[in-house]
Structure 1
Amino acid sequence: MTIQVDENEQEPWTVLRISGELDLVTSPLIRRRVHAAVAGGRHDVVLDLSAVRFCDSSGVGVLVAARRLMRSCGGRLRLILPARGAEDGAHVNRVLAALGVRRLFEVYEDVPAALDERTAPLSA
């Protein structure tokens, strides 16, 4: 498998750091991890996508589904995406923007910013 997920609890947030490729083969793993967090009563999730090298439409589908799930349970979903000009990890940002769904997400530059309630999300 070309993906790795590291989970870290930083109350009240569950941070899932994803690295590798988010595609048809690996997307179900991410879906299961988000569902497991919600099933465990953790409704505030940060997906750190800064180390994701590739994302296809199924990866985008998982992100949109995760957003829908978090909203349905009164939770929050935040994404960590590097700026479009960044060398590593900016691919997901470009894909989301190209598909017109980037604006659906609360995006932050790094995990500390996402966890800090005083920090506003980055604009699309």
Structure 2
Amino acid sequence: MMLKVVEAREGSWTVLHVSGELDLVSSPVVRQRVHDAVAAGDRDVVLDLSGVHFCDSSGVGVLVAARRLMRSCRGRLRLVLPAHGAEDGSHVNRVLAALGVRRLFEVYADAVAAADDEARPLSA
């Protein structure tokens, strides 16, 4: 399945809904979309990965790089990763945990919660 990135707004947050496979071929697309958001002045970005059913190490590298970019410009990056079910994006959660980087990210159940400054992140 091809990677698809759809941009939306949720309050003051830019939400990038990512679906498909986040791998060596497609991950530069996500990297570019995060860079484009920052270049446009957005400092609060949500990556909704609930539609991602496969993620390899290059995909994880893009997520870590996006976190670094957002921190360098005093922005915030939040991820949406569903907690249950292999079909709904939890694969990304398992990959991040297996590589020991899940704790680096603020993770939420959905984009609305991620864009709510009162909402608490899901525990690792």
Q: Which residue of structure 1 lines up, in the alignment, with residue 100 of structure 2?
A: 100
Amino acid at match of 2:37: A
Looking at structure 1, the residues matched to 113 and 95 of structure 2 have their Cα atoms a distance apart, in angstroms, of: 22
Superimposed CA distance per residue, residues 85-106 of structure 1 (whole angstroms, 9 cap, x where no aligned partner): 3232110000000000000000
Q: Which residue of structure 1 lines up, in the alignment, with residue 28 of structure 2?
A: 28
**What percentage of residue pairs aligned between the two structures are identical?**
72
Residues 1:86 and 2:88 aligned together: no
Q: 1:11, CA displacement in angstroms? A: 3.4
- TM-score by length of structure 1 reads 0.96
Looking at structure 1, the residues matched to 120 and 11 of structure 2 have their Cα atoms a distance apart, in angstroms, of: 19
- Consecutive unaligned residues of structure 1, counting only runs of 5 or more, are none
Report the secondary structure of 1:54's partner residue. strand
Amino acid at match of 2:85: A
- TM-score by length of structure 2 reads 0.96
Q: Which residue of structure 1 lines up, in the alignment, with residue 77 of structure 2?
A: 77
- Consecutive unaligned residues of structure 2, counting only runs of 5 or more, are none
Looking at structure 2, the residues matched to 49 and 61 of structure 1 have their Cα atoms a distance apart, in angstroms, of: 14
Question: How many residue pairs get matched?
Answer: 123
Looking at structure 2, the residues matched to 48 and 75 of structure 1 have their Cα atoms a distance apart, in angstroms, of: 17
Report the secondary structure of 1:18's partner residue. strand
Looking at structure 1, the residues matched to 11 and 108 of structure 2 have their Cα atoms a distance apart, in angstroms, of: 18
Q: Which residue of structure 2 lines up, in the alignment, with residue 58 of structure 1?
A: 58
Looking at structure 2, the residues matched to 11 and 42 of structure 1 have their Cα atoms a distance apart, in angstroms, of: 12
Q: Which residue of structure 1 lines up, in the alignment, with residue 44 of structure 2?
A: 44
Report the secondary structure of 1:116's partner residue. coil
Looking at structure 2, the residues matched to 2 and 48 of structure 1 have their Cα atoms a distance apart, in angstroms, of: 16
> What do you get for the CA RMSD once the two structures are aligned?
1.0
